[in-house]
Structure 1
Amino acid sequence: MNNSPISAHNAFYSKKYQQLLESLRNNDMMRNEALQTGSIDNFMSDYQYPYGCWPIILSKPRVAEFTRFNKMLPVLMHKVIRSYFKDDPQGFADYLNTSSFLYHMMAKLDVDSRDLFLRHDMVFSNNEFKLLEVNAGSNIGGWQMDWVIPALQKIWQGYPETQSLNLRTRNVVREIFEKACQSMMRLPRSGVVGNLLLITSTVPNYQRMEQDLTELYEQIKPSALAKGKLIWINNTNDIEVRADGLAYYKDQVMDAVFLNSDMARDIPQHKIMNLAKSYVAGNLVFPDSPFHNILGNKHLLALLHLAAQQAKDPANNKISLTDEELQLIERHIPWTVKLNTPVVTWQGESHALPELLKSHQSQFVIKKSLSMQGLDVLIGKTTSKALWHKAIDEHCHDNDWLVQQYCEPDPVTTCHPDYGLAESSLIWGVFDIGGDYSGAFIRSVLADTQQRVINSANGAVEFLVVEEGEKTHKLVI
């Protein structure tokens, strides 16, 4: 694969990425670099997923596109929810497959985009990024690559070809902690000291992870929160919200609570709601509240297209979208609809949805909204006709299944740790911390792989995404 041509298409991401690939092609030693376990002196020393040494490099225009999108999307989602379901809590609950109680709470609350932790999973298709789903909350994943950066930079600094590239990296967890501290300092109550409670499951290298993240929190805390502590727990037995509206852990007031764990779904619902009420009262930073996590509801992508369709209807008086908002939906969000929608408009024509899916199988994906790690996803292009038809017939009345237009990932050359330079299909995990672009990582499979659900849990290789730095002659950390 190392003798395969390097497509000029790679230069779309940046000229420096094209330059890096040419260097890798011409230098066997660079191409064969691999991180040794002993070179990673932190909890990532036994990370379960494979990752590559050589990053994807973004140009400033690509970063600017992500930045604009990150600033617009959360605001647009909240606008559409409120406009489309105005005075209709049951319609809200039915469409988004959630509780009408959440509607009543959201009607009284403006969620500050500066408090949001999001990761947008995207593909580039025909040089346009397409949003596949949004992950919301402190458990968005992908930040683990932060702790590989020092070892990767040591490799990059070992070659003149990459020393001259001047690569800028971002530390996602640092940005999360910094934005959390800013959110705590915006709390309207007195007595905020910076106590952040992190609820997490016991993962491999748990104690080392706790040590590494605690050290980072101590480094970045502003002087106003000097007394604050990062407190780790793996159950919620000693958490309570008392009559004063404050969240306590063992008699100590918490200023922020993160549910950084898959166990969040097993936490008693009354505890989640009590923490959410503390957030609403202005007593707590809680990025995993239902008000924040609603942005990770995949049905919102279908709702955005429904709203766009209505906004363009001259007879509509329900919702109004700007040209810029309509453009964002049409350019960056693949056509999405709920699977239980009987009749849809596809490419200007009306169709019964089950028949459309069966006659145009290769153009669609069907997926379950409440699902993770690529489970409950069927890609028409790589699914047998029998299984595809069976899934449609079984789920066409299910309120939690969606249809999404399939977007073929553009082939991109990466340096695979086992195969060297190879054409690959990528899923981009783009971080939106506090309403801004905050870095990204890649999950990659070989372009000719038949298993098309690209996910780390399915064997994809992870790559760091870096940026072109300012015009100096040093690597920017």
Structure 2
Amino acid sequence: MSAERVAAQYNEELCAPGGDLREVIPHVKKYPTLAAWNGKYLARPLFVDEREIHRFAEDLRHLVDLTLSLPDRMFDGNLDKFRSVLDIGDGRWAAIREFDDLLPPCYGRADMYHDGTSFKLLETNLGSECGGWALASEISQAMMEVDAFAGFARRNQLGYVHPVRAVVETLRRFGARVAPGREPVVALLEWRGGLEVYGELWRNFQAALRSAGLDILVAEVPDVHERGGALYLGDTKIDVVYRAFVPDQIVEEPDGWDLVAPVLRAHRAGRVHLWTPLSSNVFANKACLALLSDPAWRRALGEDECRLVDRVLPWTRLINTEALRTDLFDECLARRDQLILKVNARGGGVGAVVGWETDDVMWRQALETSAVEGCVVQQRVKPRPEFVVNPVAGKAEEWHAAYGMFYTPEGFAGLRAKAVPAGSGSIISFTSHADAHAAAVFQQRELPAEVADLPQGAVPADAAK
């Protein structure tokens, strides 16, 4: 049975008189580790084919490796040329280089759409500042605790990978460098004022990690202090800083360097380790995707590598002041209804301009204005319809979903989704869309759960309890 047929069967059983699947979302809303999050939940989970998602995960890992190789392969190791193409200013670059070597670990969340034929990558979101790990984990776990859903999952060979369990294992491995033989003390640090904005998500993350067996502290950068070369939060010595701040925050505030100085000194002394390095921010820059996509840049790639890029990545091109003087600018003007403009160093749809939702005048102005900051244009990907039963009206409605694939240095680490009603806007983001709903994603496997080769953190359908 395909993932689409599983979805149709779920909707049918949900609508059946007295159907127990109606208990699933109310149970999720009351789940203890989700208590800190006040967002909306989609009325059903989403389903994907296990083979398809694992093939995409393998392609994604190779694409991230290609991205990390860009300075050497395209710029002969000249980092100044590399960061110039990415439009990384002097201040951000200074923050990145003060803290770290350039090459970061593979840790983050790739965002993609399914166009009805295959998954297409939109962004790589490399780095620990990207969220969603706990929502993905806890919504799935909560659903599996409802007998009706656990039975549905067993009948349809559904399972999931628990992203937070993958995070726990990754942090334990990383923390062993500074805390050998014991559990590392991990502190998630937001920037000043960051918890006011993102506090509920990070407290959800904290609750999920603690439930999975690893304690984590949550604070802001000004809350920590240095003592004897080590970093402390109150009287607690920190081994690992789980970074939730970004280079821009350091350089854009007058006292930014003073705020981060204790973390920097302890990091340089080897008394605290930073997960992940600020250099992750470099390779999450959307311009990297344009370098991989554009034949004018990717001459250093082999034929198989180019085929891989074209298989998973939509047509993506750099838009900067130089591009305004080339044929690319005219092509972008002519293809307005097929393109979206995205700012290189921003996420969550912030600053994006949707070509098919603007007119010619606005589109030209957006291209010319955004070229100064550094942007990419990307081919439109139309997400496949996801039919979801409205629990009030009892009828199936069309939604569009953005999938998130988590990855760690050990590999594929699970999925999440966010969805919006079809026709309500083209940017599927909690930041940019007031009606975005969170959803669990379950994989349908062909082999019986007990013999399937499950990845890290995987939870088979028959292990719901």
The answer on 1:455 being equivalent to 2:448 is: no
CA pair 43-158 structure 1, distance change in 2 beyond 3 A: closer
- Who is 1:381 aligned against? 356
- Who is 2:419 aligned against? 444
CA pair 242-60 structure 1, distance change in 2 beyond 3 A: same
Q: What secondary structure is seen at the aligned counterpart in 1 of 2:25?
A: coil
- Between 449-458 and 382-391, report the one with greater CA deviation: 382-391
Structure 2 residue corresponding to 1:213, chosen from 185, 206, 222: 206
The answer on 1:466 being equivalent to 2:452 is: no
The answer on 1:329 being equivalent to 2:309 is: yes
Q: What secondary structure is seen at the aligned counterpart in 1 of 2:40?
A: coil
Equivalent residue runs for 1:21-420 within 5 Å? 21-24=11-14, 29=19, 35-36=25-26, 40-42=30-32, 44-45=34-35, 47-98=37-88, 99=90, 110-113=103-106, 116=107, 118-145=108-135, 146-155=137-146, 157=148, 161-185=152-176, 187=177, 193-200=183-190, 201-202=194-195, 213=206, 216-217=209-210, 220-221=213-214, 230-240=216-226, 247-249=231-233, 253-260=237-244, 265=249, 268-269=256-257, 275=263, 284-306=272-294, 308-312=295-299, 319=300, 321-340=301-320, 342=322, 352-396=327-371, 398-417=372-391, 420=395
CA pair 273-403 structure 1, distance change in 2 beyond 3 A: farther
Q: What secondary structure is seen at the aligned counterpart in 2 of 1:290?
A: coil
Aligned mates of 1:400, 1:277 — CA distance in 2:
32
- Who is 1:430 aligned against? 405
The one-letter amino acid of 2:188's match is L
Aligned mates of 1:14, 1:408 — CA distance in 2:
17
Contact 1:31/1:415 (CA < 8 Å) preserved in 2?
no
Aligned mates of 2:36, 2:101 — CA distance in 1:
46
CA pair 413-343 structure 1, distance change in 2 beyond 3 A: same
Structure 2 residue corresponding to 1:421, chosen from 396, 406, 409: 396
Q: What secondary structure is seen at the aligned counterpart in 2 of 1:140?
A: coil
The one-letter amino acid of 2:148's match is Q
The percentage of counterpart residues that share the same residue type is 18
Aligned mates of 1:215, 1:431 — CA distance in 2:
16
Q: Please state how far the C-alpha of 1:428 moved relative to its aligned partner.
A: 0.8
Q: What secondary structure is seen at the aligned counterpart in 2 of 1:410?
A: coil
Q: What secondary structure is seen at the aligned counterpart in 2 of 1:402?
A: strand
Contact 2:95/2:247 (CA < 8 Å) preserved in 1?
no
- Between 127-136 and 414-423, report the one with greater CA deviation: 414-423
CA pair 209-430 structure 1, distance change in 2 beyond 3 A: closer
Aligned mates of 1:134, 1:233 — CA distance in 2:
26
What is the root-mean-square deviation in Å for CA atoms of aligned residues? 3.9
Aligned mates of 2:364, 2:201 — CA distance in 1:
48
Q: What secondary structure is seen at the aligned counterpart in 2 of 1:135?
A: coil
Aligned mates of 2:415, 2:260 — CA distance in 1:
29
Aligned mates of 2:217, 2:58 — CA distance in 1:
34
Contact 2:209/2:216 (CA < 8 Å) preserved in 1?
no
Aligned mates of 1:59, 1:38 — CA distance in 2:
24
Aligned mates of 2:285, 2:326 — CA distance in 1:
26
Q: Please state how far the C-alpha of 1:390 moved relative to its aligned partner.
A: 2.4
Q: Please state how far the C-alpha of 1:453 moved relative to its aligned partner.
A: 1.1
Q: Please state how far the C-alpha of 1:325 moved relative to its aligned partner.
A: 2.0
Q: Please state how far the C-alpha of 1:264 moved relative to its aligned partner.
A: 8.5
Q: What secondary structure is seen at the aligned counterpart in 2 of 1:180?
A: helix
Q: Please state how far the C-alpha of 1:126 moved relative to its aligned partner.
A: 4.5
TM-superposition CA deviations, 1:346-385 (whole Å, max 9, x none): xxxx962332222221111112223333221111112233
Q: What secondary structure is seen at the aligned counterpart in 2 of 1:183?
A: helix
CA pair 202-189 structure 1, distance change in 2 beyond 3 A: closer
Q: What secondary structure is seen at the aligned counterpart in 2 of 1:169?
A: strand
- Between 30-39 and 457-466, report the one with greater CA deviation: 30-39
Q: Please state how far the C-alpha of 1:219 moved relative to its aligned partner.
A: 5.1
Q: What secondary structure is seen at the aligned counterpart in 2 of 1:303?
A: helix
CA pair 325-148 structure 1, distance change in 2 beyond 3 A: same
CA pair 263-133 structure 1, distance change in 2 beyond 3 A: same
Q: Please state how far the C-alpha of 1:80 moved relative to its aligned partner.
A: 1.5
- Between 11-20 and 167-176, report the one with greater CA deviation: 11-20
Tell me the matched-pair count: 439
CA pair 106-211 structure 1, distance change in 2 beyond 3 A: closer
Aligned mates of 1:329, 1:263 — CA distance in 2:
28
Aligned mates of 1:367, 1:297 — CA distance in 2:
11
The one-letter amino acid of 2:361's match is A
Q: Please state how far the C-alpha of 1:97 moved relative to its aligned partner.
A: 1.9
Aligned mates of 1:14, 1:385 — CA distance in 2:
37
TM-superposition CA deviations, 1:159-214 (whole Å, max 9, x none): 854552343233222221221111122x2786875111122444599699759836
Contact 1:366/1:378 (CA < 8 Å) preserved in 2?
yes
TM-score, structure 1 normalization: 0.77
Which 4+ residue blocks in structure 1 deviate beyond 6 angstroms? 102-107, 188-192, 204-209, 261-264
Q: Please state how far the C-alpha of 1:386 moved relative to its aligned partner.
A: 3.3
Aligned mates of 1:370, 1:215 — CA distance in 2:
29
Contact 2:133/2:205 (CA < 8 Å) preserved in 1?
no
Contact 2:104/2:280 (CA < 8 Å) preserved in 1?
yes
